[in-house]
Amino acid sequence: MVENPDDKKTIAFVVYPGMTPLDMLGPLTVLDGMATSVPGYRTVVVGETTDPIATDNPLRIAASHTFEEVPSPYALLVPGGAAPTFKALADEKLVGYVRKAAASAELVTSVCTGSLVLGQAGLLEGRRATTHWMFRDLLRAFGAEPVAERWVVDGNVITAAGVSAGIDLALHLVERLAGAEVARTIQFVVEYDPAPPLGPLDWSNPPYKDVKPLLDLTLSEALSGEPALRDKLLAHTGG
């Protein structure tokens, strides 16, 4: 076990094979900015190994620490992804670490389908939570109440919706931990002032009117070796 020599509050970002990099890198950039300017915090990236792992795009990522080296972080963030994240739900080393670390963490957070990992770890029972809009109803499989919001706070558990919502979550955390002035400064530093070229999303007209066929296929393929977990999630795809 590696101790924290400076006795700083550790914010741990979890990585696992096939995750979506931006789910982690956006919040990490924001919160590392806080850690370098506000005494008492540090950021680490934790994984089963410190060897490089594949993500869901050509980028490979290596953790700075293993799970064993950071057993009790102050705050935890779990990123999401698509099919690889569903496979990760059956990874007891990952889920077990999240469960154990969350037991003593002051803040437990997720981005996108990372909330499903929190659910698999038993951390969402009876809580309001969110995730990527395509997978939101799957939260019911873990006893959570799905909420269509950018980020959702329920006790010490904070979940963010899809991908870019992780930056919103991180700025919220900075404001909560270090104050609005620090959060606003970091927002300026990273020039986070969204003005997408195609304008805001029209939530009344999503690209997939019926996501059930895609969900069913994704879950069936990703969890073909985990029939109990597959069927548990398939029961909440609607239709």
Catalytic residue numbers, as ranges: 112
Q: What is the DSSP string of 83-115?
A: HHHHHHTT-HHHHHHHHHHHHH-SEEEEETTHH
One-letter amino acid for residue 142 of the chain? F
What span, in angstroms and rounded, lies between the C-alpha atoms of 164 and 190? 13
> Please, how many CA atoms are within 13 Å of residue 209, restricted to the half-sphere of its CB?
0
Query: 165-178 vs 180-189: helix axis angle to the nearest 10?
Result: 140
What's the length of the chain? 239
Q: Are 3 and 143 in contact, with CB atoms under 8 Å apart? A: no
Residue type, 113: T
Q: What is the DSSP letter of 203?
A: T
Cβ-based neighbours of 237, under 8 Å, separated by 6 or more: 137, 138, 211, 212, 215, 216, 219
Cβ 182 vs Cβ 39: under 8 Å: no
Residue 127, classed as helix, strand or coil, is coil
